[in-house]
Amino acid sequence: MSDHTEIRIEAAGFTDVGPAREENQDAIILPGSICLGSESHAEWNGKTSQEAVSFAVIDGMGGYKGGKNAAALCATFLSTHHIPPSDGEATEMLKGLSRKIAHSGEARGTPRMGAAFAMLTFRDNEVSFINVGDCRIYCIWGNSMGQMTIDDRIDDNSPGITQAIGPTENPNAHFYTQVLRAGKLRYLLCSDGVWGTLGNERLKQLAMSSRHPGDGCSCILERLYQLESSDNCSLIIVDIDTENVGANTISQSKLDSHSM
């Protein structure tokens, strides 16, 4: 295996206020782009061999004032960072971000403002995942789809989350790194407004129905409006094609089990 594996990437994403909300408290990050506001879309195509490339979905906590500001602060910070290669470095990065949002919330009079997020970083022949809250990352390979993140939820039937960036002083992030499979893979990053409305099986079918990420995003957003999603909706579809990648192995940290 070469020291640096070339990864060809095609990605598209949207963040949308949805049919039921008045304000969008979500955000998405693609390389060179931060998407905020009631309706925002972005696309990115490129290659990576020695430079890391990252994508993220952020969901401001709608149950507290300041969710929109928390999402914007989180997005601005993460847009200039990648997931660090070690668990310890990732933990320190998120502690700093959580303090930053908490201090801003205190200054704004919204001390409980916070955000959930999920982020992935491609570096060399590996992909790293990290999340806090209930934003999710999925991987589609062949006809299978697996969830790569762990939800921080009170229970499956409650939208309440057990930790968030901002109000949680020392967030216990779910972090791990996976050596990439050779060939083509599709990753989905989304807020709970997407997966909670569609469910895993419908989301997989819609995501697999389009060849290009941009078309997939359009198809999924249209379906979310047809189903009258009750939340903000944010999604990124990332297609990768790798060369000279070895067999798949997994290194885990703070991850007891996952669905792959």
Query: To which H or E segment does residue 238 belong?
Result: strand 233-242
- For the chain, what is the total number of helices (H) and then of strands (E)? 4, 13
The answer to whether residue 121 scores a pLDDT higher than 50 is yes
Domain that holds residue 61: 7-253
Mean of the pLDDT values across residues 87-100? 95
Using 50, 70 and 90 to split pLDDT, how confident is the model at 99? very high
pLDDT tier at 155, thresholds 50, 70, 90? confident
Q: What percentage of the chain carries pLDDT values higher than 70?
A: 89
Give the count of domains, the chain. Answer: 1
Asked whether residue 1 is domain-assigned, the answer is: no
In a domain, 61, yes or no: yes
> Could you tell me the two tokens for 176?
């791990």
Tell me, what's the pLDDT at 251?
35
* pLDDT at 260 > cutoff 60: no
Answer whether residue 77 is part of any domain.
yes
pLDDT tens column, 172-211: 999 999 998 888 999 999 999 999 999 999 999 999 999 9
Give the Cβ contact number of residue 89 at 10 Å. 12
User: Could you tell me if residue 259 is inside a domain?
Assistant: no
pLDDT of residue 169: 87
User: Which structure tokens are listed for 93?
Assistant: 């990065």
Q: What is the mean pLDDT of the chain?
A: 89
E strands in 63-194? 115-123, 126-132, 136-141, 144-147, 174-179, 183-190
Q: What 8-state DSSP symbol labels residue 180?
A: P
Residue 210 within any structural domain of the chain? yes
d(CA 180, CA 127): 6
The CATH number covering residue 144 comes to 3.60.40.10
* Tokens standing for residue 160: 């309440």
40-65 tens-digit pLDDT = 999 999 988 668 999 999 999 865 67
pLDDT at 243 over 50: yes
Residue 244 has pLDDT above 80, yes or no: no
Is 178 within a domain?
yes
Alpha-carbon dihedral of residues 32, 60, 210, 259, nearest 10 degrees?
110
- DSSP designation for 181: P
* 260 assigned to some structural domain: no
Estimate to the nearest angstrom the gap between the alpha carbon of 165 and the chain centroid.
Answer: 14
> Residue 75: its pLDDT value, please?
98
Q: What is the DSSP string of 72-90?
A: HHHHHHHTT----SSHHHH
Task: Specify the pLDDT at position 202.
Answer: 98
The predicted pLDDT at position 125 comes to 86
What integer is the mean pLDDT of 241-248? 59
> What is the band of 257 on the pLDDT scale with cuts at 50, 70, 90?
very low
Whether residue 153 is contained in a domain is answered as yes
Residue 60 and residue 70: Cα distance in Å, rounded? 6
Q: What residues are paired with 57 via a beta bridge?
A: 28, 118
